[in-house]
Structure 1
Amino acid sequence: MPRLSILELGRVREGGDIRTALDEARELARQAEDWGYERFWIAEHHNMPSVSTAATSLVIAHVAAGSTRIRVGAGGIMLPNHAPYVIAEQFGTLATLFPGRIDLGLGRAPGTDQVTVRALRRDPASGDRFPQDVLELQAWLGPTRPGQRVEAVPGAGTDVPLWILGSSLFGAQLAAELGLPYGFASHFAPQMLDQALAIYRSRFQPSAQLDRPYALVGVNVIAAPTDEEAKFLATSQQMSFAGIFRGARELTKPPVDDIERYWTPQEKAQASQMLAHSIYGSPDTVREGLRALIDRTQADELMIVSDMYDFGHRLRSFRMISDIAAGLPA
């Protein structure tokens, strides 16, 4: 059975607030480490009222301080938005405060819209330098060299583990070339999953960090006592995806009895394509869904998104998923 981990968006729900979302993320990580989850990653998004994790490094510190064992990291830092040197300082600080517990996943997308990109003062061409930026960041986190006049303090010598994240073939090729672990975002962009994993594994070159391919696969899972309840709870996520296509930046909505009355046929088709690998259901349904995904991908690790309105239902879902996975063949 692959390891299980959690991807956190810090969802802000209708009737809630940002502080509550951040504290719930911290509480989820605290409980998840007792349920056997390997790592708890925070996603960087900007200008989204329903997502509270824009200052990703700060949220990682908040979550790590509330837990003791689980690895905490970025899933990921959108590196073109930042100077590699600054990220080295931030994650060097995190690694100093929480030794042996910090991961640094890296993506090349902006994590926002083009208007917000300009507010970030991001060079539109900075994504083209992503491979060079990854190498620069890796160097800042590595040991200092003789005669080096600038070093990341903290940062130098911490060797924070880097991951390449993506939803296309580019990230798979880069992760293979650099010998880094690779995470595929099939929880929202599943179309190239099989091809990306095949390229990553076939082209992998061992490195100082990793001697063989290590593939993480993102997947939406909502577990509940019955299929009907799980599908009901999943409508909050489905409405969030419909909002993307509408250009509506809304807080997470309570679930609805009839999602067909909420979205248009076109929105349904678009969202269904993005959510194609999602698993919503009872323990038996989730068990079969996880087994099929593992058989298909041979993933080393699954990163679970269990996105719903009510925090108590989220906790129950993650606890159930852990129990279900524990019963699968090793």
Structure 2
Amino acid sequence: MPTAKTPTALSILDLASIAPGRTARDSFDNSVALARAAEGSGYRRVWYAEHHNMASIASSATSVLIGHVAAHTETIRLGAGGIMLPNHSPLVIAEQFGTLETLFPGRIDLGLGRAPGSDQKTMLALRRNPNSADSFPQDVLELQGYLTGRSRIPGVQAVPRAEGVVPLYILGSSLFGAQLAAQLGLPYAFASHFAPDALHQAVAVYRDSFRPSDQRAEPYVMAGANVFAAEDHDDAAAQKTIAYRARARAMVSRGAAGSRFSDAEIDAFLASPNGSQLASMTRYTAVGTPAEVRDYLDEFAASIHADELILAHHATRIDDRVRSVELTGRVMAAASLVAE
């Protein structure tokens, strides 16, 4: 049985959300502010996810956003959490991330998922074959070959190929990703911030099945959690209520029509049998004062012996989101000093 590692590394998943009445440019400015706050608060990395045809998320061109934020920060690692590889050719992704690593050496990560990151119509607009996910394991290996200079396609190389390493991570919310990450000897990031059900089983399968590789000699587990941290508990709880109501509106309506639902109607829906599944998606949420958030995250990390937590700070206002990042980073760093 593995023992919990102390301290647990902290990172951020930035959803690059577009607030009502704001623009994608505002979202990109917010992403820079969030990354700078993370850089100054002891976080290891910030990741951005590939989503398409979602009016409230601005990270569809994930590699471009990574480059923009990298140019406005100094040391923090930046990457994809993740690139939905079946949407792309492995060669194109190797070229993009080889370029990023060349421009920002030692700072680029590449997390990979197999979901479409979109609905079925958008998947077709992306020219994605409905069966493309079936070749995900082979595509990961092809991509890895390009990035390491050991191409599996004779006569084809990714240019530029960075001198440094672009580490790969397998993302998932089921046993498939856990098994693949273990087979390939890669770090595994579980999307428990929105798909919590299989977390413990998937982590156990990953650790039990792990095979050492050139990248990792031992398993490495990352897990997602949501955070609302504020100096005052009631303030943090109010931020959570506002943010999760907005999330429910967006998911129920997938468009502007969701604005017709009142707060009372959204609350009633989330409390209903039909809404309970949506509400349960954010089961792993730390909310409250820095001490309360620290206690929650410590217990969550210990429950799966996590090596790293990747946190999604969801407050609607960017000032509150940045403050949540800073408060959480500070209290977890202080706890680490005590543990050492």
Q: TM-score, normalised by structure 2?
A: 0.91
**Are 1:181 and 1:213, in contact at CA under 8 Å, matched by a contact in 2?**
yes
Deviations 1:68-127 (A, max 9, x none): 100000000000000000000000000000001000000000011001001101000000
Residues 78, 276 of structure 1: CA spacing in aligned structure 2 closer, same or farther, 3 A cutoff? Answer: same
1:9 CA displacement: 1.1
Residues 213, 117 of structure 1: CA spacing in aligned structure 2 closer, same or farther, 3 A cutoff? Answer: same
1:270 CA displacement: 1.9
The residue aligned with 1:290 is 297
Does 29-38 or 51-60 show the bigger shift?
A: 29-38
What is the CA–CA distance in structure 2 between the aligned matches of 1:145 and 1:174, rounded to whole Å? 20
The residue aligned with 1:310 is 317
Q: Does 2:71 match 1:82? A: no
What is the CA–CA distance in structure 2 between the aligned matches of 1:120 and 1:109, rounded to whole Å? 13
Q: Percent identity?
A: 49
1:266 CA displacement: 3.7
The residue aligned with 1:128 is 134
1:272 CA displacement: 2.3
**Are 1:13 and 1:252, in contact at CA under 8 Å, matched by a contact in 2?**
no
**Are 2:41 and 2:329, in contact at CA under 8 Å, matched by a contact in 1?**
yes
The residue aligned with 2:3 is none
User: Counterpart amino acid of 1:195?
Assistant: Q
What is the CA–CA distance in structure 1 between the aligned matches of 2:219 and 2:115, rounded to whole Å? 23
What is the CA–CA distance in structure 1 between the aligned matches of 2:68 and 2:153, rounded to whole Å? 36
Q: Does 2:117 match 1:111? A: yes
Residues 146, 311 of structure 1: CA spacing in aligned structure 2 closer, same or farther, 3 A cutoff? Answer: closer
Does 5-14 or 149-158 show the bigger shift?
A: 149-158
1:252 CA displacement: 11
Q: TM-score, normalised by structure 1?
A: 0.94
The residue aligned with 2:282 is 275
Deviations 1:250-286 (A, max 9, x none): 5999xx9866367562454122210111111122321
Q: Does 2:199 match 1:193? A: yes
**Are 1:189 and 1:274, in contact at CA under 8 Å, matched by a contact in 2?**
yes
1:230 CA displacement: 1.2
Residue 234 of structure 1 aligns to a residue whose secondary structure is helix
Deviations 1:186-224 (A, max 9, x none): 000010110011011111100001110010011001101
**Are 1:245 and 1:267, in contact at CA under 8 Å, matched by a contact in 2?**
no
Residues 262, 193 of structure 1: CA spacing in aligned structure 2 closer, same or farther, 3 A cutoff? Answer: closer
**Are 2:99 and 2:162, in contact at CA under 8 Å, matched by a contact in 1?**
no
> Residues 242-261 of structure 1 correspond to what in structure 2 (within 5 A)?
242-243=248-249, 245-250=251-256, 260=267
Gaps of 5+ in 1: none
Residue 76 of structure 1 aligns to a residue whose secondary structure is strand
The residue aligned with 1:54 is 60
Residue 83 of structure 2 aligns to a residue whose secondary structure is strand
What is the CA–CA distance in structure 2 between the aligned matches of 1:270 and 1:241, rounded to whole Å? 13
**Are 1:13 and 1:251, in contact at CA under 8 Å, matched by a contact in 2?**
no
What is the CA–CA distance in structure 2 between the aligned matches of 1:228 and 1:242, rounded to whole Å? 21
Residues 147, 105 of structure 1: CA spacing in aligned structure 2 closer, same or farther, 3 A cutoff? Answer: closer
Q: CA RMSD in A?
A: 2.2
**Are 1:107 and 1:165, in contact at CA under 8 Å, matched by a contact in 2?**
yes
What is the CA–CA distance in structure 2 between the aligned matches of 1:66 and 1:210, rounded to whole Å? 30
Does 234-243 or 134-143 show the bigger shift?
A: 234-243
User: Counterpart amino acid of 2:307?
Assistant: D
The residue aligned with 1:321 is 328
The count of corresponding residues between Structure 1 and Structure 2 is 328
Gaps of 5+ in 2: 1-6
Residue 218 of structure 1 aligns to a residue whose secondary structure is strand
Residue 110 of structure 2 aligns to a residue whose secondary structure is strand
Deviations 1:286-330 (A, max 9, x none): 122112102201100000101121000001100110112123335
Does 201-210 or 145-154 show the bigger shift?
A: 145-154
